[in-house]
Amino acid sequence: TEALDRFFYKPRFSPDGREIYAAFENDGEQPLVAVNVDTGARRDVIAGELAVFDFDIHPSGVVAAQVGRADLPDEIFVSSGAAPAQITRTNEAALKDVTLAKPFTAKFNSRDGTGVEAFFYRPTTGRAKKAPAILRIHGGPTSQFDFSFDAYAQLYAANGYAVVMVNPRGSTGYGTNFAAAIYADWGNKDFDDVMAGVDHAVAIGLADPQRLGVGGWSYGGILTNYVVTKTDRFDAAVTGASEFNYLANYGHDIYQREYEIELGLPWEGENRAIWERISPFNSIDEVTTPTLVIGGAEDWNVPILNSEQIYQILKRRGVPTGLVVYPDEDHSIDRPSFYKDRFERYLGWYHKYLK
């Protein structure tokens, strides 16, 4: 609604029908709330520096929810009106001797003065100040970083890296206008926003400006492609399941209808210029950053031809690069052995160029 300008997850009625329960994204948090059907009044059910991903409501009104925190992989919590109680401890034994990083947030201005928020992780090993740093970019772009458990950030922090996780324009959680700010204009305002996050990390002494990495998956990989075509500040990049040449993708991926709505038909009028403008392909000659390219062979969200093109062009130009294609995998890499391999390759690439 206009009064509650946020993205909701899994709304459902309370047992008495007087409220609608839902998880919703709100300024980097994802609480469970209840909204009164008659008045629109909202109350927190489970809230704070956490993220609620799923829930159910007993006829008595007791709520069970899947809840994660930055220092706690998802567990089940129960709330009956008081503070929620954790009732599962699935990973307690596995994490007993593991030091987990806890992020802090900060707000800062992007290049045009727009306020932006980011999550910052300090390394749990190595240097706490001026550490090698990784700009981790989320997918979507309509999603947000929040206080949930982030395995990537924890992995990087445990290996001596500071981690910068910006919610740039295009992200949900900050209102419709913020999310729509990059409509048909990808890789500009959001690029400025993530770079402002890096600048902030450098300014507060967290990140070493001479040892910077960048990476992401899906739209996170797409924005990584924009980053390395627009700046040479990064010493290593990992782009996963990313788009690269939008004209080449026409009719080949599952987002054709969405692209036509947002960008127009590429052969009509001035639309071709829009499709060309948003394609990192057209600025690939600017890339000097060593870039690892990863994808799934059966990806129909973002076809693997994008990864193959990036690799071939960088290889031809003499830019350090590598290509990893996981067989029988789609947009997400689900096989445990491949999942582990992907993490190892991330670390190997960043270690090679940032350590």
> In the structure, what pLDDT confidence band is assigned to residue 248 with cuts at 50, 70 and 90?
confident
**Tokens in use for 135?**
């700009």
Note whether 212 and 343 are same-domain residues.
yes
Q: Are residues 73 and 111 in the same domain?
A: no
Residue 50 lies in a domain: yes
Parent domain of 68? 8-86
119 & 243 share domain? yes
Q: Are residues 210 and 79 in the same domain?
A: no
- What CATH number does the domain containing 113 carry? 3.40.50.1820
Distances, alpha carbon 64 to alpha carbons 71, 83, 111, in Å: 20, 12, 43
Could you report the per-residue pLDDT of 150-198, keeping only the tens digit for each? 999 999 999 999 999 999 999 998 988 999 999 999 999 999 999 999 9
Residues whose CB is less than 8 angstroms from the CB of residue 77 and which lie 6 or more positions away in sequence, other chains included:
46, 64, 65, 67, 84, 85, 86, 87
CA distance 102 to 266: 45
Same domain? For 242 and 121 the reply is: yes
Q: Are residues 70 and 156 in the same domain?
A: no
In which residue are the tokens 């693997």 written?
A: 304
Other C-beta atoms closer than 10 Å to the C-beta of 68 total: 20
Report the mean per-residue pLDDT for the chain.
92
Is residue 231 domain-shared with residue 273, that is, in the same domain?
A: yes
Q: What is the pLDDT of residues 296-347, one digit of tens each?
A: 999 988 889 999 999 999 999 999 999 999 999 999 899 999 999 999 999 9
Residue 164 near residue 212 (C-beta atoms within 8 A):
no
Query: Could you tell me which of 73, 48, 232, 54 has the C-alpha nearest to residue 152?
Result: 73
Contact assessment for residue 157 and residue 122, using Cβ atoms and an 8 Å cutoff = yes
> Which has the minimum average pLDDT: 62-76, 85-99, 249-263, 293-307?
249-263
- Whole-angstrom distance, CA of residue 21 vs CA of residue 55: 9
Query: Does residue 134 share a domain with residue 56?
Result: no
Helix 219-230 vs helix 189-203: crossing angle, to nearest 10: 80
Whether residue 232 is contained in a domain is answered as yes
Rounded to the nearest 10°, the torsion over CA 336, 342, 345, 351 is -100
Give me the amino acid identity at 41.
A
What is the Cα gyration radius of the chain? Answer: 21
**Across 269-274, average pLDDT:** 89
Query: Where among 58, 86, 114 does a domain terminate?
Result: 86
Beta-bridged to residue 42, according to DSSP, are 35
3 domain-assigned: no
DSSP string across 169-209? TT-SSS-HHHHHTTTT-TTTHHHHHHHHHHHHHHHTTSEEE
One domain for residues 144 and 67: no
* Tally of structural domains, the chain: 2
Question: Per-residue confidence at 351, pLDDT binned at 50, 70, 90?
Answer: very high
**Domain membership flag for residue 1:** no
- According to DSSP, the residues that pair with 133 across neighbouring strands are 162, 212
Q: Which of 86, 119, 147 is the last residue of a domain?
A: 86
Look at residues 59, 86, 113 and tell me which one is the last residue of a structural domain: 86
Q: Does the residue 93 lie in any domain?
A: no
Higher pLDDT among residues 92 and 127, named by residue = 92
**Looking at the domain assignment, is residue 68 inside a domain?**
yes
Q: Are 29 and 49 in contact (CB under 8 A)?
A: yes
Q: How many CA atoms lie within 13 A of 86 on its CB side?
A: 13
Query: Residue 1 has what pLDDT?
Result: 60
| 3 state SS of 68 | strand
How many angstroms separate the CA atoms of 55 and 234, rounded?
Answer: 41
- Is residue 95 in a domain? no
Residue spans of beta strands (DSSP E) within the chain: 8-13, 19-24, 32-36, 42-46, 51-57, 63-69, 72-79, 85-86, 104-109, 115-121, 131-137, 162-167, 207-217, 236-240, 291-296, 321-326
Asked if the structure places residue 163 within a domain, the reply is yes
